[in-house]
Structure 1
Amino acid sequence: MRLLPLVSACLLCFAAAQAATAAPAPSTPATRLDHILLWGRGIDQVTSVMAVKLGFQVRPGRDPDGVANRYIRFSDTSFIELLGITRPNPTFDPGMKEDQQALKGGPGSRTFGFRSSSLDAIHQSLQALHYAVTPFFSGPDSAKPGWRLFAFDRAPLSSNTFFIDYAAGYAPDQFDPANADDYRVTREHPNGARELSSIWLVSGDADADRRQLEKMGYGHAVPVKLAAVGAKGFCVPIGPTALLTLQPDGAGLAQQTMANGGPRILGVSFGVTDLERAQRWVERGYEHKLTSYRGLSGASILAPTQDDLGLSIEFHAMQASDSPCSATNL
């Protein structure tokens, strides 16, 4: 089932984050980054880029109101939700309209989700911190619950976000979530991608996002630089994943992104089983030779996806680490 209509409705009237007030930080032991909402110029365009040029397996979604969605799911239970307009004058909910206005109808992403099995505790803690959290929403229907979420009436971060959890076995891209073979096969990608390791936010003030995350209970930030995109900021561990809060650091993709569209998701990083295989796939797809570099997660390549997707896609070799922001990765 599509998550976007209720997610987007939850994201009404996002504005600058509220000033911090003294209150206990929420406990977040079970939280991780879950997925991003990625708009294409059209659903077939973004599907083609992800499948043909980048080597992901794209799963079907739905198209009830002129905005279609599709899924790319990973072995670590994270995913990407692809979105595209399929007819003139589609029915936008307020969140969709806000995204489209900010993206100027182009490709890109400005919304992502945290996943936690402790939604009630986090919701209560954020209320105690005076964050403008919404009530809970759930779906796909009361007879067969699949997900439960809350968002914010005013954005605490430079990109929109929400907190979500799923009922046992729920998988929106499968007719039979109990089928173990389907579960395994739909998470195997030709490029070898297996995990979402980090989401990169870009704004004019990386420390403002860091402070908000610390207030929300996500501390232990580590200063980082991403020379590949001309950015600097902080790596904030979110369970086994990392949220990077970045700002431009000289000329580069980060500066271009801010100049062309303002704060948004600058990039997403994925762990792959074979980096050379992923590199060959991207080089064939883009007819462009790539140079590997040492990124925050070790040996990495950056696919030239800004024009196609409005964000960067990084692939890195999978590696064991106690923390996604540990000093050994920097």
Structure 2
Amino acid sequence: MLRRIVYLVLCCLSLVTLAQPPKNTITAVAINHVPIAVTDLAAVKKVFSSLGFTIKEGRAHVGTTNCFVKFSDGTYLEFVQPLDSTQEIGRFYHDFLKTRPGGSELVIEVESADSVAHYLQRKQILFARDHNRVWKNVTPTQPGAGVFYTEYADKNWRDKPEYTTHVNNATGLGPVYYLAADQDDATRHFEKLGFTDAGPTTSLQAPVRAMTIGRSRLMILDAAEPGRMADFFASRGHTGICGLSITVSSLDVLEKRLRTLSKRGMLTLRKDDKLYALLQPYALFLEFSTPGTPQTHR
């Protein structure tokens, strides 16, 4: 009888241990969204509407105003314009825009904010935590971290179809491109923040270091060899997030729109069954591909 009781206790302890997130890993789901710092929100809405995206209006809060492009898979883009630099978030974007516009951070959706906190403590990375009824955030406080982590209360929530349905057939956020002054340093930086080094490959006619986190990829370009679409950023000394890959169900509608925009001065390119648009005012390029299209080219 005693042996059975001990066996049951050990089984229960094992189940509890399995239910708890490991303290030395980040239980990442994916890159959930990318905040993009801009100086003129009205101009952004016009550009992305012309590309066939549905815009969801945001609101003024903590010194900023924003709007969104949301996708049916739960990922999205957030465009943020600072209004008041005396408030915390407004100050962050105001200061960011002193260097350049464009993608400011990667927001990583995680299964457990607690597991992220344990992981960062183990790595001796300082961080801040905040939460509300919708999400729990864990944000590394080291300068230039470029990442924060979010655990959503409702992990299955999706926005209304009216906000996630787009004329250009966009369905989700794919790999994010990052231009680094030193590719090896950037690889080590993101590894420390929970990314996995997937090794060297090529994309956009340039050497790339692929990093994974959850089901997402971060493609690190070397500023010394940026390739055609990233030349614009390297020539201006910009580093950081420089490109966003967006999955579309068909390229047909989008190609017609890009052809029109190309005539108006927007640099566009078709390469390896993908479409590219260079958004110079936002220090970003967009890569459009259909499901199943290889994201890298060896």
TM-score, normalised via structure 1 length: 0.73
Of stretches 245-254 and 123-132 in structure 1, the one that deviates more from structure 2 is 245-254
Q: Distance in 1 between matches of 2:170 and 2:241?
A: 20
Distance 1:25 1:64, change over 3 A: closer
Aligned to 2:131: 138
1:316 to 2:289 alignment: yes
Residue matched to 1:153:
141
Q: 1:221 to 1:203 in 2, by over 3 A?
A: same
**Does structure 1 residue 240 correspond to structure 2 residue 237?**
no
Distance in 2 separating the partners of 1:318 and 1:164: 26
Would you say how many aligned residue pairs link Structure 1 and Structure 2? 274
Q: Bigger CA drift: 279-288 or 198-207?
A: 279-288
1:292 aligns to what? 270
Residue 198 of structure 1 pairs with residue 195 of structure 2: no
Q: Measure, in 1, the Cα distance between the counterparts of 2:210 and 2:72.
A: 23
Distance across 1 between alignment mates of 2:269 and 2:229:
16
Q: Does 1:76 align with 2:52?
A: no
Structure showing the higher strand proportion among its residues:
2
Provide the C-alpha distance between the structure 2 equivalents of 1:167 and 1:131, rounded to a whole number of angstroms: 25
* Alignment partner of 1:59 is 2:65: no
TM-score (norm 2): 0.81
Q: Distance in 2 between matches of 1:317 and 1:71?
A: 22
CA contact (8 A) 1:113 1:164 kept: yes
Q: CA deviation at 1:222?
A: 2.3
TM-aligned CA deviation for residue 28 of structure 1: 3.6
Tell whether the 8 Å contact from 1:42 to 1:83 is kept in structure 2 after alignment.
Answer: no
Partners of 1:40 and 1:46 in 2: CA distance: 8
In structure 2, stretches of 5+ residues that fail to align are: 1-21
Q: Judging changes above 3 Å, is the alpha-carbon distance between structure 1 residues 92 and 255 closer, same or farther for their aligned structure 2 residues?
A: farther
2:109 alignment partner in structure 1: 115
**Structure 1 residue 46: Cα displacement:** 0.8
Q: Give the Cα separation in 2 of the matches to 1:97 and 1:91.
A: 4
Please list every run of 5 or more consecutive structure 1 residues that lacks an aligned counterpart in the other structure.
1-23, 140-144, 172-176
The alignment partner of 1:186 has SS state of helix
Cα–Cα, structure 1 residues 99 and 226, in superposed 2: closer, same or farther, change >3 Å?
Answer: farther
Question: In the alignment, which residue of structure 2 is the partner of 1:41?
Answer: 39
In the TM superposition, residue 94 of structure 1 has moved relative to its aligned partner by 4.4
Structure whose alpha-carbon radius of gyration is higher:
2
Q: Counterpart of 1:37 in structure 2: which amino acid?
A: P
Rounded to whole Å, the distance in 2 between the matches of 1:311 and 1:289 is 12
Question: Aligned in 2, Cα 1:290/1:129: closer, same or farther, shift over 3 Å?
Answer: closer
Distance in 1 of aligned mates of 2:121 and 2:230: 33
Give the aligned residue type for 1:74. Answer: F
User: The residue matched to 2:141 in structure 1 has which SS?
Assistant: coil
After superposition, the Cα gap between the structure-2 partners of 1:92 and 1:77, relative to the gap in structure 1 and judged at 3 Å, is farther
Q: How far apart are the structure 1 equivalents of 2:169 and 2:147?
A: 28
Match for 1:302: what amino acid? Y
Give 3-state SS (helix, strand or coil) of 1:77's partner: coil
Q: Look up the SS of the partner of 2:151 in the other structure.
A: strand
The verdict on how the C-alpha distance between 1:71 and 1:119 changes in structure 2, with shifts beyond 3 A counting, is same
Confirm or deny: 8 A CA contact 1:40 1:84 kept in the other structure. Answer: yes
**1:168-183 → structure 2 map (5 Å cutoff):** 168=154, 183=160
Aligned to 2:4: none
Find 2:275's aligned residue among 301, 307, 313.
Answer: 301
Q: Is the 8 A contact 1:222 1:235 kept in 2?
A: yes
Equivalent residues in 2 for 1:184-223, closer than 5 Å: 184-223=161-200
- Contact 1:283/1:289, CA 8 A, preserved across alignment: no
Deviations 1:105-148 (A, max 9, x none): 763122221111122112101111111122x2013xxxxx1111
Q: Which residue does 2:15 correspond to in 1?
A: none
What displacement does 1:320 show?
A: 7.8
The 8 Å contact of residues 49 and 308 in structure 1, kept in 2 or not, is answered as no
CA distance, structure 2, for counterparts of residue 48 and residue 114 of structure 1: 28
* 1:70–1:48 CA distance, 2 compared to 1 (3 A): same
Q: Is the 1:210–1:221 Cα contact (8 Å) retained in structure 2?
A: no
Corresponding residue for residue 269 of structure 1: 245
CA contact (8 A) 1:61 1:69 kept: yes
Over aligned residue pairs, what C-alpha RMSD do you find? Answer: 2.8
Q: Distance in 1 between matches of 2:222 and 2:23?
A: 25
Distance of 2:124 and 2:89 partners within structure 1: 22
